[in-house]
């Protein structure tokens, strides 16, 4: 019988990465560049005039960058009270921070133009409920940015242990304890197929390979920094799409843009173009 999961409160208090300002702002630059490409809005203010929400904002660095990108109204939503307190103290003049569960967002139906849900789902007790409520609050022509970890990625991103996310809860708990990483393994990742099912009510475009192949366009260098990044870029630019498709099940992270109604990316052509994710 598996351990019952409780909400991860005060996440920023025990996960120092949430307070790494430089890294969080680099992630925000990538997110904004992807959204700008999809929306066909180049320049310094691709979110100009839009209502934007960062679901799982923690200390608020990404939300602050969304506001800087021109958003008319920016919201940061989390249950991480210490993180929200830090965020409000620094960025509260231009971002409204709200303590709320992602499965019960405090917004009217169809009222938000852009939502960001970046590497959060594996920490959420009921990610399907969060996805449903984001679908509810998103405008009919709205856009949802998703950073999604893959269960079949070889190196688990939080504890840096190979194949950890492959294991069921009991063995995973023993694995992290054996290496002194934690008392138990909380996170629950899904495979690509599971993620597609979770997002079955959306139309989805996959930006994973476009970002890796064109990091200079998407501020995506932190995915594979240095020499590894340069090799990945050169390889991806020349690799046929059918070959890349064969690698998709084990890619560690997916970068997806989802919409409620059928839309196409409006940005310029890329060496590896975004691909429509087929429903499952």
Mean pLDDT over residues 273-277, rounded? 94
Q: Of the ranges 65-79, 223-237, 247-261, which is most confident?
A: 65-79
Q: Is residue 161 part of a domain?
A: no
What CATH number does the domain containing 224 carry? 3.40.50.150
Q: Is residue 157 part of a domain?
A: no
For residue 13, name the pLDDT band (cuts at 50, 70, 90).
low
Strands 51-55 and 73-78: parallel
Q: Is residue 83 part of a domain?
A: yes
Angle at 197 between CA 132 and CA 184, to 5 degrees: 85
Q: Is residue 120 part of a domain?
A: yes
pLDDT of residue 223: 55
Angle at 70 between CA 205 and CA 115, to 5 degrees: 40
pLDDT over 90 for what percent of the chain? 74
Q: Of 147, 187, 153, 194, which Cα lies nearest the Cα of 168?
A: 187
Mean pLDDT over residues 227-244, rounded? 64
The tally of domains found in the chain comes to 1
Q: Is residue 80 part of a domain?
A: yes
Whether the per-residue pLDDT at 14 is higher than 90: the answer is: no
Domain span at residue 135 reads 11-151+189-277
pLDDT of residue 3: 56
Q: Is residue 98 part of a domain?
A: yes
CB 280 within 8 A of CB 193: yes
Q: Is residue 116 part of a domain?
A: yes
Both structure tokens of 12: 């920023």
Using a cut of 0.85, tell me whether the model's pTM lies above it.
yes
Whether the per-residue pLDDT at 229 is higher than 60: the answer is: no
Q: 27-41, 85-99, 152-166, 220-234 — which is least confidently predicted?
A: 220-234
pLDDT of residue 1: 41
Q: Is residue 264 part of a domain?
A: yes
Tell me the C-alpha distance between 54 and 32, whole Å.
Answer: 12
For residue 245, name the pLDDT band (cuts at 50, 70, 90).
confident
Tell me the C-alpha distance between 135 and 118, whole Å.
Answer: 16
């Amino acid at each position: 019988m598996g351990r019952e999961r409780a909400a991860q409160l005060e996440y920023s208090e025990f996960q120092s990465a949430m307070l790494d300002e430089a890294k969080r702002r680099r992630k925000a630059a990538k997110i904004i560049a992807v959204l700008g490409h999809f929306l066909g809005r180049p320049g310094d203010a691709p979110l100009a005039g839009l209502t934007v929400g960062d679901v799982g904002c923690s200390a608020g660095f990404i939300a602050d960058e969304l506001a800087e990108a021109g958003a008319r109204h920016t919201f940061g939503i989390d249950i991480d009270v210490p993180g929200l307190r830090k965020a409000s103290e620094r960025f509260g003049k231009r971002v409204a921070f709200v303590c709320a569960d992602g499965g019960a967002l405090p917004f009217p139906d169809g009222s938000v133009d852009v939502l960001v849900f970046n590497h959060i789902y594996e920490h959420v007790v009921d990610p399907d409920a969060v996805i449903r409520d984001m679908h509810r609050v998103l405008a009919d022509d709205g856009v949802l940015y998703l950073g999604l970890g893959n269960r079949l990625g070889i190196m688990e991103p939080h504890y840096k242990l190979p194949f950890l996310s492959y294991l069921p809860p009991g063995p995973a708990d023993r694995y992290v304890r054996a290496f002194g990483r934690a008392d138990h393994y909380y996170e629950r990742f899904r495979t690509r197929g599971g993620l597609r099912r979770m997002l079955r009510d959306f139309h989805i475009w996959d930006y994973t390979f476009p970002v890796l192949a064109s990091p200079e366009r998407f501020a995506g260098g932190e995915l594979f920094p240095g020499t590894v990044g340069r090799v990945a870029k050169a390889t991806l630019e020349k690799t046929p799409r059918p070959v890349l498709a064969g690698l998709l099940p084990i890619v560690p992270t997916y970068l997806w843009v989802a919409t409620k109604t059928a839309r196409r990316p409006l940005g310029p052509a890329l060496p590896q173009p975004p691909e429509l994710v087929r429903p499952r």
